[in-house]
Amino acid sequence: MTAVAYPNIALIKYWGKRDEDQVIPWADSLSLTLDVFPTTTTLHVGQTGDVDRVTVDGVPASGTVSRRVVGFLELVRKRAGRTESAVVSTHNDGPMGAGLASSASAFAALALAAAEAYGLELDATDLSRLARRGSGSAARSVFGGFVLWHAGEDDPGSFAEQIGVEFDPAMVITLIDTAPKALSSRTAMRSTVETSPLYRAWIESSRADLTDMRTALERGDLDMVGEIAERNALGMHATMLAARPAVRYLAAPTLNVLDNVTALRDEGTSAYATMDAGPNVKVLCSPGDADRVAARMREAVPGCTTVVARRGTGAALLTEEPG
């Protein structure tokens, strides 16, 4: 069984869980699924008694990755009442573990492939609940376009759904550093919840941002969407910076990109930045400005590369196994 899923970038961020085991966040979040950097995952059911085998690009997965995948497969098998092992091979078109939502596309693809292979009959909402257990943001990659993840307070209440807006901006991904991050978002968000004195205020402001964002998306107002997304991302990073010890994903070139985004706005181009658990910046702009915005970033930030993304589709099964 082969499934494909795309990463999503949150415009209203998920940062912090109220329940670590069930992956229930403290606040709703809202994202855009992209049309670049897909993850393709093939899963074959093996024999009872064998160990699960997990490869990434043909190479056996590292201990951490393998443990997370096996833990997820155990959850699927328990639900399906099955005991056979799995052989999982996965390929990610983008850099992994660099704050580019590779865990979102990876667990959305794995959830779909595993649910099908082990015979779980899930609708898209149930699939979103299942993907959430692998990585919170994966709940959103089950769907395409703009997606709202209802935080909920328990497993049934915590799922994502697509919101029906036509808005179709561009996102210029500015790659500064694609090496895997030193601190996983899982560990960093736990430490932020436990130690940042700003955490409660961040949750309150993020909830208010979400209400405003829904209005902005319904209006298809790029400036309003961009302003809210940028302030939400900066608020999340401010909250992390206040953790003890500080969690800092933003690097010197990140600030250079941010300066250039501000300069573009001063020159009259609608461009807005958002950053996740890594130094790379995603710049929201209109499709007609995307190539110019990308060229500006490459010119201003030595060594960076850019990829222009648009809205992408939800997780899907491939009907033919790749040759």
Residues that bind ligand DP6 (CB under 6 A): 10, 13-15, 23, 29, 103, 135-137, 185-186, 276-277
CB of 181 to ligand DP6, least distance (A): 10
How crowded is residue 67: how many other Cβ atoms within 10 Å of its Cβ? 12
Question: Burial code of 236-245, b = ≥16 C-beta within 10 A, e = fewer?
Answer: bbebbebbee
Q: Which is nearer to ligand DP6, 29 or 128 (CB)?
A: 29
Through-space distance between the first and last CA atoms of the chain, rounded to whole angstroms: 13
- What b/e readout covers 16-54, taking b as 16+ CB neighbours within 10 angstroms? bbbeeeebbbbbbbbbbbbebbbbbbbbbbeeeeeebbb
Q: Which residue is nearest to ligand DP6 (CB)?
A: 136
Q: In angstroms, give the least distance from the CB of 99 to ligand DP6.
A: 7
In 145-273, alpha helices (H): 185-195, 199-219, 222-241, 252-266
Helix axes 102-117, 124-134, angle to 10 degrees: 120
Return the number of the residue (69 or 277) whose C-beta is nearest ligand DP6.
Answer: 277
Smallest distance, ligand DP6 to C-beta of residue 287, A? 23
Q: Is 270 or 274 the residue whose CB approaches ligand DP6 more closely?
A: 274
C-alpha count within 13 angstroms, C-beta hemisphere, residue 303 = 8
Please state, in angstroms and as integers, the Cα–Cα distance from residue 180 to each residue in 21, 98, 157, 233, following that order.
24, 5, 32, 20
Residue 103 CB, nearest approach to ligand DP6 (Å)? 4
CB of 243 to ligand DP6, least distance (A): 14
In this complex, which beta carbon is closest to ligand DP6, that of residue 119 or of residue 157?
Answer: 157
Q: Which is nearer to ligand DP6, 43 or 104 (CB)?
A: 104
Q: Closest separation between CB of residue 277 and ligand DP6, Å?
A: 5
Q: What are phi and psi of 6, to 5 degrees?
A: -110, 155
Nearer to ligand DP6, 71 or 287 (CB): 71
